[in-house]
Chain A
Amino acid sequence: MTTTAESSLHELLTALGERQIAVGEVRGVAATDPVNLPMIHHWTDAMGDANPVYTDEDFARGSVHGEIVAPPAMIQVWTMPGLARAKGAASPMDDVLGALDENGFTGVVATNCEQTHHRYLRLGETLVPATRMTGMSGPKTTALGVGYFVTWVVTWYSGDEPVAEMMFRVLKFRPREKKSEPEARAPFPLRPAVNKDTAFFWDGVREGELRIQKCGDCGELRHPPGPVCPSCRSVNRTHIVAAGTGEVYSFVVHHNPPVPGIETPFAVAVIELPEGVRIVGNVVGCPLEKVGIGMQLRVTYREMDDELVLPMWVPRES
């Protein structure tokens, strides 16, 4: 992206952030269940919190609270939407986080979480969360990548009374290319040219099909394909899906010079298909010295990069 485009993106994101801050607090969906003992039990078990004031009625009655109260740190749990449940009312954060995702800031990491608890919650209280965006800054260059810090505050209400608050800050960042696997992420350089006559083949490969052109009139099979049937002049083209097996008709093992995108040595074969045509492809998944004329193969498919899938051939027994 050019610097100009980058700065206009920054303006767009900043404006969106300011607009959402101006919106102020937006009420969310009320908790599905009121504050209750079974959920407190689960939470204290999971957290290893043995304080009996949260679970033992008799003990709690004798405490300063006079009854069972919920652990304050559990505040988020009461209104957390389940995975399968509808999210309900929109949060003022949705647009901002969505816009960052759309512009490549797909990484997310929580950087700050500060909770303030105004009082203990009692069994039977129903909480409603409300969210307001409070800040956005960036772009900042971080170890993870360039990104924006976005801050919001959630306030939980019991009736009209605010009972707790949480300030939450995340870094939304553009993930750096991972240095450990540059080979896997680099675009495979050796792309086929594709046109109207051959697109069906490459479309098929992406769908896991090895397609062979078949004349729509005389039925002749043909690979490599072409626009006109050499047997009957028909331009009415169809295709069949090959069984995906084949036999090595000839092969080479390439050592030198280096070929962009492929590690040497590697094997390439002319493969005879039972359908009666030949096709060229790499033989993989076995030691190179095992490759020989007559070897039985089956097709598989490999993603070379985000766009290109190639049919590859492996020994049939494997």
Chain B
Amino acid sequence: MYSLSGRTAVAGIGATEFSKASGRTELQLAAEAVFAALDDAGLSPSEVDGLVTYTQDSNQEISVAREVGIGDLSFFSRVHYGGGAACGTVMHAAMAVATGAASTVVCYRAFNERSGRRFGQPDAGLGGEPSSQGMEMSWHVPYGLMTPAAWVAMFAQRYMHTYGASSEDFGRVAVAMRRHAATNPAAWFHGRPITLEQHQASKWIVEPLHLLDCCQESDGAVALVVTSAERARDLRRSPAIVSAAAQGSGAGQMMMTSFYRDDMSGLPEMGVVGRGLWEMSGLAPKDMQAAIIYDHFTPFVLSQLEELGFCGRGEAKDFIANGGIEIDGHLPVNPHGGQLGEAYIHGMNGIAEAVRQIRGTSVNQVGTVHNVLVTAGTGVPTSGLILSQD
């Protein structure tokens, strides 16, 4: 059977600074990140023939192409479902390259999520329109259940009930991410670690989530260059081979509100992604030297570790309490500090960190990383990657 595994690579990464007020348009941010990624790869805009972004990105592919001087495009696509799109953009790019639809594809995500439209704020328009998503939202929005924190909190409460996890168990994730970010100069929270006591004392956002269970809001952009593994070997950087890429959606799936299916203590869509990744790569959890686990809210870091098979159901709290996700732990998670610590760029900054870990160039390098697993937004249809050394 034809497999995508090993055929393509991430050959370049680029980003803007991460801030709370970029002071420029989202299109400019996108262009800057694309330039940076192409420079990193040693490619010129004219060599790009494909662009992929999120459906939520406000910058059209053609707008970015015009801005950076990309000419003809033979492939462009968008991946849906919020931050669940992150690794999906690389998957789509890899498929395009592997099938010959394009030779060099840039994936990008750019937004002023702090100074512009803030995802964490209630949007009174949610549920107002009779699209299928509007209809889903209509079962929740009238009751004030309308922020990502609230939707995640609903799962977290049930998870705590089912497995006996506590707010401190969630807090340990935040503390670890802030500890990692503290030594990453690119991180917004560089030099600002927190303690578990500070986590516990932070204000309620939506019980059982404290403020410090919720990732920050950021302005910024990240871009990635995907090309064939063969071509990547000839470029400036050592390639991060795409060993596996997968998307996943589960039975009874909704956008953040999958409350109606059998179980609310897991993330079946991430289970789908995990099975896809292990099968495509022929690798197993023990083969990962690091993981980038999407951390918009701490509770879903626990569920993901379980869905991906890094530990058993309900065991993530012990895995974490025993130092499992620390830089020197069993599975270093988010050495850059994740979205809780570095920046919230909808998961794209995590993919860039995974590439640095493969290259051995991260400021928080965890040693020799042969394989790193990356996940995308959770609670929504999602995606994942395994990047490997050549």
Task: Give the residues in chain A near B168, CB-CB below 8 Å.
Answer: none
Q: Which of the segments A144-152, A161-169, A249-257 contacts the partner chain?
A: A249-257
Instruction: Give, as a whole number of angstroms, the nearest-CB distance from A205 to chain B.
Output: 10
Instruction: Establish whether residues B144 and A254, one from each chain, have CB atoms under 8 Å apart when the complex forms.
Output: yes
Q: Which of the segments A10-18, A25-33, A43-51, A276-284 contacts the partner chain?
A: A276-284
- Known A-B contacts A195-B130, A277-B260; A252 and B145 likewise in contact (beta carbons under 8 Å): yes
Task: Give the residues in chain B near A278, CB-CB below 8 Å.
Answer: 259-260
Q: Tell me if B71 is interfacial: C-beta within 8 Å of chain A.
A: no
* Residue picked from A193, A224, A249, most chain B C-beta under 10 Å: A193
Task: Give the residues in chain B near A250, CB-CB below 8 Å.
Answer: 154-155, 157-158, 161, 259, 264
Within the assembled complex, what's the spacing in Å between the Cα atoms of A277 and B262? 10
- Known A-B contacts A249-B264, A255-B203, A268-B145; A280 and B135 likewise in contact (beta carbons under 8 Å): no
Q: Tell me if A120 is interfacial: C-beta within 8 Å of chain B.
A: no
- Known A-B contacts A223-B260, A293-B158; A266 and B144 likewise in contact (beta carbons under 8 Å): yes
Within the assembled complex, what's the spacing in Å between the Cα atoms of A278 and B259? 8
Interfacial residues of chain A within 277-310, with CB under 8 A of chain B in the complex = 277-282, 293, 304, 308, 310
Instruction: Establish whether residues A253 and B145, one from each chain, have CB atoms under 8 Å apart when the complex forms.
Output: no
In-complex Cβ contact of B120 among A194, A257, A266 (8 A) = A257
Q: Which of the segments A95-103, A126-134, A184-192, A236-244 contacts the partner chain?
A: A184-192
Task: Give the residues in chain B near A265, CB-CB below 8 Å.
Answer: 204, 207
Q: Tell me if B271 is interfacial: C-beta within 8 Å of chain A.
A: no
Q: Give A227-263 as 1s and 0s: 1 = Cβ < 8 Å from B's Cβ atoms.
A: 0000000000000000000000111111111111110
Instruction: Establish whether residues A191 and B144, one from each chain, have CB atoms under 8 Å apart when the complex forms.
Output: no
Instruction: Establish whether residues A224 and B139, one from each chain, have CB atoms under 8 Å apart when the complex forms.
Output: yes
In-complex Cβ contact of A193 among B120, B138, B204, B257 (8 A) = B138
Task: Give the residues in chain A near B69, CB-CB below 8 Å.
Answer: none
- Known A-B contacts A254-B144, A293-B158; A193 and B150 likewise in contact (beta carbons under 8 Å): no
Instruction: Establish whether residues B142 and A308, one from each chain, have CB atoms under 8 Å apart when the complex forms.
Output: yes
Within the assembled complex, what's the spacing in Å between the Cα atoms of A254 and B157? 13
Residue of A whose beta carbon sits closest to that of B257: A280
* Residue picked from A250, A253, A255, most chain B C-beta under 10 Å: A250
Residue of A whose beta carbon sits closest to that of B145: A268
Instruction: Establish whether residues B135 and A191, one from each chain, have CB atoms under 8 Å apart when the complex forms.
Output: no
Task: Give the residues in chain B near A258, CB-CB below 8 Å.
Answer: 122
Residue of A whose beta carbon sits closest to that of B254: A224
Within the assembled complex, what's the spacing in Å between the Cα atoms of A277 and B261? 9
Q: Tell me if A93 is interfacial: C-beta within 8 Å of chain B.
A: no
* Residue picked from B127, B138, B155, most chain A C-beta under 10 Å: B138
Task: Give the residues in chain B near A277, CB-CB below 8 Å.
Answer: 260
Chain A residues within 8 Å of chain B by Cβ, number: 40
Q: Tell me if B68 is interfacial: C-beta within 8 Å of chain A.
A: no
Q: Tell me if A197 is interfacial: C-beta within 8 Å of chain B.
A: yes
- Known A-B contacts A256-B205, A260-B122; A192 and B127 likewise in contact (beta carbons under 8 Å): yes
Instruction: Give, as a whole number of angstroms, the nearest-CB distance from A267 to chain B.
Output: 9
Q: Tell me if B17 is interfacial: C-beta within 8 Å of chain A.
A: no
Q: Tell me if B192 is interfacial: C-beta within 8 Å of chain A.
A: no
- Known A-B contacts A224-B136, A253-B204, A293-B161; A259 and B130 likewise in contact (beta carbons under 8 Å): no
Instruction: Give, as a whole number of angstroms, the nearest-CB distance from A27 to chain B.
Output: 56
Instruction: Establish whether residues B150 and A254, one from each chain, have CB atoms under 8 Å apart when the complex forms.
Output: yes
Task: Give the residues in chain B near A310, CB-CB below 8 Å.
Answer: 142-143
Instruction: Establish whether residues A197 and B135, one from each chain, have CB atoms under 8 Å apart when the complex forms.
Output: yes
Instruction: Give, as a whole number of angstroms, the nearest-CB distance from B43 to chain A.
Output: 43
Instruction: Give, as a whole number of angstroms, the nearest-CB distance from A200 to chain B.
Output: 13
* Residue picked from A188, A192, A197, A224, most chain B C-beta under 10 Å: A192
- Known A-B contacts A250-B161, A257-B120, A293-B157; A280 and B143 likewise in contact (beta carbons under 8 Å): yes
Residue of B whose beta carbon sits closest to that of A263: B144
Within the assembled complex, what's the spacing in Å between the Cα atoms of A31 and B299? 80
Instruction: Give, as a whole number of angstroms, the nearest-CB distance from A253 to chain B.
Output: 4
Task: Give the residues in chain B near A197, CB-CB below 8 Å.
Answer: 135
Q: Tell me if B206 is interfacial: C-beta within 8 Å of chain A.
A: yes
Q: Tell me if B141 is interfacial: C-beta within 8 Å of chain A.
A: yes
Residue of B whose beta carbon sits closest to that of A279: B139
Q: Tell me if B183 is interfacial: C-beta within 8 Å of chain A.
A: no
Within the assembled complex, what's the spacing in Å between the Cα atoms of A266 and B147? 13
Within the assembled complex, what's the spacing in Å between the Cα atoms of A253 and B211? 13
* Residue picked from B131, B134, B142, most chain A C-beta under 10 Å: B142
Within the assembled complex, what's the spacing in Å between the Cα atoms of A257 and B131? 26
Instruction: Establish whether residues B260 and A251, one from each chain, have CB atoms under 8 Å apart when the complex forms.
Output: no
In-complex Cβ contact of A252 among B139, B153, B264 (8 A) = B153
* Sample of 20 A–B contacts (CB below 8 Å): A190-B144, A191-B142, A192-B142, A193-B128, A193-B129, A224-B135, A250-B155, A250-B157, A251-B154, A251-B157, A252-B154, A253-B206, A256-B203, A256-B204, A256-B211, A257-B122, A260-B124, A265-B207, A268-B144, A280-B140
Shortest Cβ-Cβ A-B pairs, 3 listed: A192-B138, A253-B207, A250-B158
Binding site for B on A (CB under 8 A): 188-195, 197-198, 223-224, 249-262, 265-266, 268, 270, 277-282, 293, 304, 308, 310
